[in-house]
A and B are shown apart, each in its own frame.
Chain A
Amino acid sequence: MIISLGILSATLLLALLLGVRGARSASFSASGTTSGTPSLEQWSVGNRGFGTILVFMLLAGEIYTTFTFLGGSGWAYGRGAPAFYIIAYGAVAYIMSYWLLPAIWQRATAWKVLSQSEYFTRAYGSPALGNVVAAVSIAALMPYLVLQLKGLGIIVSESSYGAISANAAIWIGTTATVIYVVLSGVRGSAMTAALKDAMVLMCVIGLGLILPYKLHGGIGPMFARIAAERPDFLTLPSSGMSPSWFASTVLLTVLGFYMWPHTFGSVFTARDASVFRRNAALMPLYQLVLLFVFFIGFAALLSIPGLQGTEVDLALLRVTRDTFSPWIVGLVGAAGLLTALVPGSLILMSIATTLARILRPPRKGQPADSATFARLLVPLLAGVALWFTFRGGGTFVTLLLMGYSMVTQLFPALLASLFPTARISAAGAIAGIVVGEAAVAATMLGGVSMATLLPGWSPRITDINAGFLAVILNIVTMVLVSRLSSRVTAPVSP
C-alpha cells in the first residue's frame, strides 16, 4: 500500500515537473510579447510549430482518456463483442484524417484562428455562428472534464487501497493540472502526454499479455473458455447491438471524432500539413493498445465475475488488485491518473481559449494577444468543474452521454466550410446545428429511437443509431435554409 502510494505521488510530481518544464523549452520570451509573457498563440497552440511526434502525442493524449482505459475494459467485461466498435471507429477516423485535417489546418493557419468557434466565425464570416459553436463546445466539454475528474478520483482511491479518498485525489490532481496549464500551456500538456503514453503502453500491454496467461493459461484458452461458457458473447447479436448498430455507430463516431473542440484545436499546433499525413499511418497502430485493454476486460470476466452496472468500469483495477502486488497496482493507478490529467489539461485550455477569443476578440493592427486573460480563466474554470464534480446531479450525467452526439452536429457545417461550392450560408449552418441539437435532445432525453419511429420494422433498420436521424435533419435544414436565405454568404476560401 505504501509502495503504491509512493508511485502515485512520484508520478504526479514527475508530471508536474515535466509540465512546468514545458514553459522553459517553449522559449516564451523569444518572440511576440514583452517581458516573457507568452502570446495566446504560443500558449494555446505552441506557435503552430509542432512536428509529427508532438502532434501524435497530443492527439493520442486526448483521444485515449480514462474512458478508454476503464470504459474499454468495462465494455469488454460487460458486453463482449459490441466493445470491438471502440477499436473500429478510431481506425476509420484516422483514414479520414488524411484528407480532413490538412484541409482544416490550411484554413486555420491562414486565418490565424486559435479555437474551433473562431474557425467557424471566420469560415462563414459570422460571429453569431461562432457563438453558437462556442456554446455547443462548452456544453459538451464541461461534462467531459467532470468525467475525467471523477475517473481520476476512482482510479486513485482504488489503486491507493483507499488511503487517498476520491475527493482528495480530485483536488490534488486538479491543482497540479491548473499549475502546469497556466505556466506552460499546450507544451506542458505535450510533455505530460509523453509520460502518459510511455506508462499506458507499458501497463496496458503488460497486463493484457500477463493476465490472460497467469489466470487462464493464454489468450487462446481464455477465449475458448468464454466461447464455451457464453457462446453468444464474442459475436454481435442479431438484434440490439446488431451489425446495423455496429456499422452506424462506428460511422457516426467517426463524424464526431475530430469535432471535439480540444481535438480540433490540437490540429492548429502542427507546423505543416504533412504532419497529419504521417500521423494517419501512425495512429492506427496506437489504436491497437485497445486490444490489450479488451484482453484485460475478458480476463477479468472469468476471474472476477459479478460486477454489475457502473461497477464494470472497475474491472481493470479490481482484477489488477486481486492478481498483483501493490507496486504494480501503483503503476497502473499512476498510468490511469495521467489518462485523466492530460485530456483534462487540454480541455481546460480549450475552454479558456474559446472564451478568451470571444470575450476579447482579436483586432486588426494590434500586437499579438497576450495569453494572460486565458491563463486567468483556467483556475476559474477548474473551480467550476470541481463544483460540478462534487455536486453534479442527474442532468449532468445526461449531458455527458449527449456530449459526443452534440459535437457531431458540428460536422456538416465543418464539411461545407471546406467546399465553398456547396454554398452553405451562416444562417443555414446555424439552423442546421440548432435543429441537429434539438433532435439529439429528443432522441436522448425524449426516448425517441428508430424503433419508436418505425414500429414493426426489421432490426436491420431499427438498430441504426438514432444519431443519424439528427445528422440528416441537420443537413436537410442547413441546405434548405441556405437556399432560402436571401443574402448568401458562402464560406470563404483561405
Chain B
Amino acid sequence: MTKPYRLLALVPAVAILGAPWFANRIEPRILGMPFLLGWIVCWVLMASVVMAVIGALDSRRS
C-alpha cells in the first residue's frame, strides 16, 4: 500500500462498530452523558478529524 496513513480511517470505524463491546456501560459519564453515548460521540468527532487529516495528506501528495 502506497499510502499507509489511509489505514487511520479504520480506527474510528472499528471504535464505532465495536462500541457495544468496548463501552457498553453508563459510568464513567462523559459531559453528563452515559459512557456508551459519550464514546460514540467522541469517535464521530474523531472520524471528522481523521478524514480531514487523510484529506490533507492526500491533497499534498497529488
A residues with a Cβ closer than 8 A to B are 81, 84, 87-88, 90-92, 94-95, 98, 218-223, 227, 231, 234-236, 242-243, 246-247, 250-251, 274, 277-278, 280-282, 284-285, 287-288, 291, 294
Contacts of A90 in B (CB 8 A): 44
Pick the contact of A223 from B20, B21, B34, B48 — CB < 8 Å?
B34
- Output the least CB separation between B7 and chain A (Å): 12
Interface residue B1 (Cβ < 8 Å from any Cβ of A):
no
- Output the least CB separation between B26 and chain A (Å): 5
Pick the contact of A219 from B13, B16, B26, B32 — CB < 8 Å?
B32
| A294–B32 CA distance with the chains assembled, in angstroms | 14
Are the C-beta atoms of A94 and B51 separated by less than 8 Å? Answer: yes
Q: How large is the interface on B (under 10, 10 to 19, 20 to 34, 35 or more residues)?
A: 20 to 34
CB contacts under 8 Å to A, within B4-60, are 9, 12-13, 16-21, 24-26, 29, 31-34, 36-37, 40-41, 43-45, 47-52, 54-55, 58-59
Are the C-beta atoms of A247 and B54 separated by less than 8 Å? Answer: no
- Output the least CB separation between A406 and chain B (Å): 23
| A231–B34 CA distance with the chains assembled, in angstroms | 11
Contacts of B51 in A (CB 8 A): 94-95, 98, 277, 280-281, 284
Pick the contact of A91 from B18, B32, B44 — CB < 8 Å?
B44
The answer to whether A95 and B9 touch (CB under 8 A), given A236-B20, A280-B55, A288-B41, is: yes
Residue of A nearest to B20 (CB): A243
5 more A-B residue pairs beyond the given contacts A88-B17, A246-B19, A287-B44, with a C-beta to C-beta distance below 8 A: A95-B51, A223-B34, A231-B26, A235-B26, A247-B20
Contacts of A278 in B (CB 8 A): 55
Residue of B nearest to A231 (CB): B26
Are the C-beta atoms of B45 and A288 separated by less than 8 Å? Answer: yes
Are the C-beta atoms of A87 and B40 separated by less than 8 Å? Answer: yes
The answer to whether A87 and B44 touch (CB under 8 A), given A218-B32, A235-B36, A277-B55, is: yes
